[in-house]
Structures are given as structure tokens and as C-alpha cells.
Amino acid sequence: MTQPPPSSLRDLESAIDAVVVSYDGPEEINNLESAALPNRRAVIDALNHLKPVVFMGFFSHRPLTRGNLRHGISEHLYPAYELLSEQIRRAISYEERRAPGDPGRTERWSEEVTLDLLQAMPKIRRLLNGDVLAAYEGDPAARSIEEVVFSYPAIEAILTHRIAHELWVAGVPMIPRILCEYAHGRTGIDIHAGATIGERFFIDHGTGVVIGETTVIGNNVKIYQGVTLGALSTRRRAAPGGVVVQRHPTIEDDVTIYAGATILGGETVIGRGSVIGGNEWVTQSVPPGTKVLGRARD
């Protein structure tokens, strides 16, 4: 590594001293306990072990048979278990330093939650199979199931969401958001880990899609790029008992939402079988079977 000349070295040392002193200030980002925080890279490594488990035949580096399948899956689930249980333990430890802990959590809670997720992998695989089929059947440009799995960003975003949502429902802090924001960065699709999404969900193209925390999406829903399922208010609200108030819309079964549409509000329900046209702005409920096209409703 090239060493700076003596005069520059003095300036560099001075800059280092100034940065060190800045950590004595009142800023919230001056936390020096980061070693106890979850490690983002380790969380993503765990995700990258879970992805192949869903699609083993697509990501294996060697021929697979029913005879060696268990070994191949084990090669991914053992490290995924070790990585995730440690990172969840860190997340819980850090949270409990900031606020009183959950009395229902045992000493082995992180391991138990991780095992629950791994035991849910068959369910996640079934859901992803439906999502892949929805993409293949819903996009005339798709040439094969393999093409959808390998190249459609929505599949990665939905896969990551379905894994993160299991952890969100279990009450795991921080880790679900790390997972979903990683997928957001890779795909341009922003799905909050708290959103509830039904079967055979298809996002076509996908770039710029935003799905908020309390969104509820039914089965056989198809949305296009630039769609926002958001809140009318950005205020953090909770009902008595700490229950989160629904701030984002409900999309019932068999709904299609075209590019650029914005649907806002926790009381907004898009009825079953409805079609929301491109660039529409919707803040009121739509009855089942309605077409909202060019500001008109049929």
C-alpha cells in the first residue's frame, strides 16, 4: 500500500483524530456496540443458503438425484441454521438492551425460531411454485419455467419476502428488514416483511413496486411496475395493547393493478376480480368486479 508523504501523513492523522472526537458527540449514530448487532453479510449468507433449497435443481453445482438430494439440502440448511440462529440471537440481545425483553422468549428462542423457519421450507417451496407458475402463465414473453426462475427479479423479491415474513410473524427484530432491503436493492421491488401475501402472486417487470408493512394481498393477484400500495398517513400508530393499525390497503383475490397505479389507506379495499388501470390514484374502496380505468369505474 502506498504511504503518503510526511506532510500528508500529519494531515491524515489529524483527520483521524477529528473523526474519533466526533464520536463523543450526541448523534444517535455514535453507537460503538456494533459488534453486538446482527451482521448484514452473515444474514445475506444465510439467505443465499436458503434460496437453493427452494430451487435445488436450478442452483446445484453437481448432478442431483433422489439419492443425493438429502445431502445437498443438508449442505445448505446446516450453515443456514448456524448463521441465522446467531444473528437472531444478536438482534434479540441488542433489542433487549434498548427495551424490556419479551418474557415469552426462552434462552434458546433464536434456535427455536430458526428451526421453525427451516421446517416451513416445504410450505415456502409450495408457495414459490405457485408464484413461478403465475409468472409463467401470466407473461406471454416467458418461454419456460426455468427462464422465470433464473431471470425474473420478482421471483427473488417474493422468495426473500416469504422467508422474511416467517421471521416477522415470529417477532424477530431487524433481520426481516435486512433481508427485504437486500432484495429491494437487487431487484428494485420494495416489499415490507410485514406484508401478508397470498398464493400465486405475480409482479410483472417489477421496478419501482412498493408494498407497505400492513398491506394484505389475496390469491392470484397480478401487479405491474411502479405500483404503490401505501399509507395515507406516515404517522406511527398502534391500537390499544400495542397492535399495529392497518395503514395500507387490502387487495382481494384475482385483482390486476397496472403500471404506476397508487392505492393508499388502511381502509381501502380493492374488491375481488377488480382491475385498476395504469397511473390511477385510489384512496377509497372499490367494489368487487370493478374496472377503474381513466378515472371512470365500470
Give 240's pLDDT tier (boundaries 50, 70, 90): low
Q: What is the pLDDT of residues 174-224, one digit of tens each?
A: 999 999 999 999 999 999 999 999 999 999 999 999 999 999 999 999 999
Q: Look up the CATH superfamily of 38-98+106-188.
A: serine acetyltransferase, domain 1 (1.10.3130.10)
The residue type at 146:
E
Q: What is the pLDDT of residues 252-273, one digit of tens each?
A: 999 999 999 999 999 999 999 9
Is the domain covering 195-237+244-298 a CATH 1.20.140.10 domain?
no
Report d(CA 79, CA 100) in Å as an integer.
31
Domains of the chain: which residue ranges?
A: 38-98+106-188, 195-237+244-298
Residue 46: pLDDT over 90: yes
Whether the CB-CB separation of 187 and 154 falls below 8 Å is answered with yes
The residue type at 181:
E
| Cell numbers representing residue 223 in the block | 401487479
DSSP 8-state code for residue 167: H
Same fold across 38-98+106-188 and 195-237+244-298: no
Whether the CB-CB separation of 234 and 200 falls below 8 Å is answered with no
Average pLDDT over the chain reads 90
Report d(CA 165, CA 103) in Å as an integer.
22
